Amino acid sequence: MEADPRAARLSNVALAGPSQARDRRSIRRTNLGLVLRMLRDDGPRSRAQIAADTGLPKPTVTSLVAELVSLGLVREGPAQREGAVGRPGTLVHVDGRDICGIGVEISTSYIHVLALTLSGATAFEHRSAVAVADAEAAAVLDLTGRSIRACLAALERDGIRPVGITLAVPGVVDARTGTVEYAPALGWRDLGVVDGLSARLDQPTPPIAVGNDAKLVAIAEYVQAQGKGVQDMICITGERGIGAGIITDGRLLRGSTGFAGEVGHMPLDPERRRCVCGRLGCWETMVGLDAIFRLAADVGDPVHDPHVELEDRLAELHRRARSGDVRTRQALSRVADDLALGIALLADVLNPEVVVLGGYFSYIGDLMLQRVREVVRARVMAQEAGGCEVVLSTLGFRAAARGGAHLALDAVYQDPSAV
Amino acid sequence: MEADPRAARLSNVALAGPSQARDRRSIRRTNLGLVLRMLRDDGPRSRAQIAADTGLPKPTVTSLVAELVSLGLVREGPAQREGAVGRPGTLVHVDGRDICGIGVEISTSYIHVLALTLSGATAFEHRSAVAVADAEAAAVLDLTGRSIRACLAALERDGIRPVGITLAVPGVVDARTGTVEYAPALGWRDLGVVDGLSARLDQPTPPIAVGNDAKLVAIAEYVQAQGKGVQDMICITGERGIGAGIITDGRLLRGSTGFAGEVGHMPLDPERRRCVCGRLGCWETMVGLDAIFRLAADVGDPVHDPHVELEDRLAELHRRARSGDVRTRQALSRVADDLALGIALLADVLNPEVVVLGGYFSYIGDLMLQRVREVVRARVMAQEAGGCEVVLSTLGFRAAARGGAHLALDAVYQDPSAV
């Protein structure tokens, strides 16, 4: 009677193939990662326990742990438990205090650098307000390079090794070539950001990668939500543009060439206003930052001033709405309706369990959420919106850099020997 | 430098867990399926070869093959190759001529029953033109039951065993309860089709399941396209409503509760016309069958007559367009534009390698395809539409029943012992 589970299995059949031959080195890398991820996810344990849990022979575990110790990724220490009979047990712990990943978000209004250690602590964080769209790309890369250099210097001072840098950019990105193909909100097209940035940094620098900001936000939100067992999730990031990171069946949806999640230009506006991308009627003209500010205040109003920190401008909107200002409330209500229209569409197509609203929605979304949920519930085809919940991100504008840092660190968990 | 591949791996990490304990019986089922799928995908081979290819011990393979033979799923016979030295080799072949899956599509204008054997032959096929939306649900189920009984009788006469029946319905389906939650094109809501149909069939019948028609079309198209290595594919089925089956990363996208792929009600129409679902501006009001007929001909024109076979009405439109009829050509061009608008949206969100246009598009889409491709290319954010190709299905209105039959058969490949 279960049609769909069988369908899921059908696709497994379609994909089943002979397991690929792997060389010894690759098996060892895999096992190093396996042990390290187990220590991260399930906590400290003895070598004997690692052998039992992984099914690896004890001498192999001893050798793997020794390599992880020498790489500075784990340490061995006595168990905390007192009063045990016999030789005190020795536990293996993840020791990631001295290793970090760096995430760098280049948004339309700021550059945000965040270094996160393997143990999850923030080793460095800095944000500068920059009107990126009004600046030359070269100047933006200069500034970004300066921020990263400051970060690297601080890490070196603290004895922390960076393993990788991920740039987060609001646009269509070719990760293989390190190029931003098209980021209309920044006014960038075919910009080799990885090469451009490498040239601005002293060698050697850790490997630099570039990713779409909304996908990196989704990684940060997914890591956050993991404990709740969510497998299908859409993270919508509101900035000047609107992006989405989509998790389906526990995996980041990339699509065939890595461009999935470009939701900002869905043609939903019946008035078909022109978007910065040149197309007509794009969703982000209805629900992006420009829309909320345009609806809420006339030109000249301080909330339009790009030199004021974005959080402060949003806090001002929030204050006005809460004090009963009719125009602000109408603006929020209008954007809530239009936001819900797109969310409902995405819920019909993707049937997520959770839609997380991040970016600027983290700051004023509490005033829109009830309306958004009502409209989504009314508009989605499946009953009760197919079980879809709409929630606000708690990470706010920090999420993209955080996702970038997670991604850089993930390389360590996949291949600890690359440290 | 590879941000996105690392992201893909990150999600694997997130999902990694201890492998689940399995009992002996379950392992045996898994191995039976493994051997059967290998014979299907890689062709006939000797027991020794099966042992070598699967890594299973020879005595286990002997016992598995014996069970598959007794289940009537494989047979052993001499190798075709002549002149070999020594004892003539014996090869194991899939022998699926006597086992079939049944797919039954209930569409707005016909009921289509198709039985497909394990070896891929059509064992039974029948289609009746029915104006389903104008009939009572009970009468439609009566008719469907009658068609299935005729199919079962024919199969019995031919000595073919049906292993399962999958109903394909254009709507939101709850597969667990066998219920059609909402199928606006049929006018159905909360209809227990599996129970309703079971009650109309003589017992015992093979297990009955219900699935969304567009998802089943996607399965049929994916099986068709598999040889080409496509992993990311959207199948858009044009009927009175518009549905989609989405394959991402080689797997059917189900979403958290199985409702993914409801693309017909994306609010894309700037004129916000009312849809049969009650919402305003749904995509299917722009590109569904009603739209093309409304745009192409006045009321009273024979192409509107629901009693004429749909293929014949579409053939008439095709003939008019090819003979230069301006109104028909304008209608096709308008629908092509609006179709492309939605395809571009889906390509932005999902970044597929291929979009397959099925259903009525199979019949007149050749006259729209060039325009659709142009608009998609112009509208999708990623360069060259992110590599997305738009093609026509070759399965036409047969695809949903075919996908249903594949799905029913898949149960055999997953668990041959259940035959």
pLDDT digits (tens, 9 = 90+) for B152-163: 999 999 999 999
Of A13 and A117, the one with more pLDDT: A117
Is the CB of B231 less than 8 angstroms away from the CB of A256? yes
One domain, residues A49 and A65: yes
Position A379, amino acid: R
Helix H segments across A16-123? Answer: 24-42, 47-54, 58-70
For residue B363, give the H/E element and its range. Answer: helix B361-364
One domain, residues A29 and A169: no
Give the confidence band of B307 by pLDDT, cuts at 50, 70, 90: confident
Encode pLDDT of A376-411 as tens digits. Answer: 999 999 888 888 999 999 898 889 999 999 999 988
Contact (CB, 8 A) for B317 and B303: yes
pLDDT given for residue B16 in this prediction: 26
Nearest by CB to A211, from B7, B211, B222: name it. Answer: B7
Within-domain flag for A317: yes
What is the ipTM metric for this complex? 0.81
Within-domain flag for A221: no
How far apart are the C-alpha atoms of A99 and A116, rounded to whole Å?
A: 8
One domain, residues B320 and B368: yes
Nearest by CB to A1, from B207, B281, B414: name it. Answer: B207
Contacts of A408 (CB under 8 A, 6+ apart): A101, A102, A103, A162, A163, A164, A165, A166, A206, A209
How far apart are the C-alpha atoms of B346 and B357, rounded to whole Å?
A: 13
Nearest by CB to A262, from B254, B259, B381: name it. Answer: B381
Mutate which: B173, B348, B376, vs A, most A CBs within 10 A: B348
**Cis before A44? omega within 30:** no
Give the confidence band of A185 by pLDDT, cuts at 50, 70, 90: confident
Within-domain flag for B12: no
> What is the side-by-side order of every strand in the sheet holding B161-169?
B122-129, B110-117, B99-106, B161-169, B208-212
Is the CB of B383 less than 8 angstroms away from the CB of A268? no
Q: Which residue of A has its CA nearest to B353?
A: A256
* Residue that finishes a domain, picked among A46, A74, A94: A94
Nearest by CB to A350, from B260, B271, B388: name it. Answer: B260
Q: What is the CATH number of the domain that holds A375?
A: 3.30.420.40
Encode pLDDT of B344-368 as tens digits. Answer: 999 999 999 999 999 999 999 999 9
Encode pLDDT of A300-324 as tens digits. Answer: 999 998 888 889 999 999 999 999 9
| CA-closest candidate to residue B241, choices B258, B217, B222 | B217
pLDDT given for residue A6 in this prediction: 31
- Say if residue B191's pLDDT is above 60: yes
Of A48 and A22, the one with more pLDDT: A48
Within-domain flag for A16: no
One domain, residues B348 and B232: yes
Is the CB of B383 less than 8 angstroms away from the CB of A181? yes
Give the confidence band of B2 by pLDDT, cuts at 50, 70, 90: very low
Within-domain flag for A10: no
In order of A215, A355, B230, B302, the CA distances from B347 in angstroms are 16, 20, 15, 36
One domain, residues B76 and B105: no
Tell me which of A14-28, A201-215, B244-258 is least confident: A14-28
Within-domain flag for B14: no
Contacts of A198 (CB under 8 A, 6+ apart): A205, A208
Within-domain flag for A15: no
How far apart are the C-alpha atoms of B172 and B113, rounded to whole Å?
A: 21
pLDDT given for residue A81 in this prediction: 55
pLDDT given for residue B130 in this prediction: 85
One domain, residues B199 and B137: yes
Within-domain flag for B290: yes
Contact (CB, 8 A) for B227 and B190: no
Per CB-CB distance under 8 Å, the chain B contacts of A183 are none
Number of domains in chain B: 3
* Residue that finishes a domain, picked among A56, A79, A94: A94
One domain, residues A232 and A341: yes
One domain, residues A209 and A249: no
Per CB-CB distance under 8 Å, the chain B contacts of A284 are none
Q: Which domain holds residue A140?
A: 99-216+400-418
CA distance A165 to chain B (A): 9
Give the confidence band of B406 by pLDDT, cuts at 50, 70, 90: very high
Question: Mean pLDDT in chain B?
Answer: 88
pLDDT given for residue B308 in this prediction: 86
Tell me which of B27-41, B72-86, B136-150 is least confident: B72-86
One domain, residues B249 and B387: yes
Per CB-CB distance under 8 Å, the chain A contacts of B13 are 37, 410, 413-414
One domain, residues A249 and A382: yes
Mutate which: A190, A231, A266, vs B, most B CBs within 10 A: A266
Q: Highest-confidence range of B15-24, B270-279, B286-295, by mean pLDDT?
A: B286-295
One domain, residues A144 and A71: no
How far apart are the C-alpha atoms of A91 and A238, rounded to whole Å?
A: 45
Per CB-CB distance under 8 Å, the chain B contacts of A232 are 255-256
The predicted model gives A139-144 an average pLDDT of 95
pLDDT given for residue A407 in this prediction: 92
| CA-closest candidate to residue A63, choices A78, A52, A51, A79 | A51
pLDDT given for residue B10 in this prediction: 34
Helix, strand or coil for residue A121?
coil
How far apart are the C-alpha atoms of A191 and A213, rounded to whole Å?
A: 16
- Say if residue A70's pLDDT is above 50: yes
Q: What is the CATH number of the domain that holds A33?
A: 1.10.10.10
One domain, residues A82 and A42: yes
Mutate which: A31, A41, A235, A254, vs B, most B CBs within 10 A: A254
* Residue that finishes a domain, picked among B94, B118, B147: B94
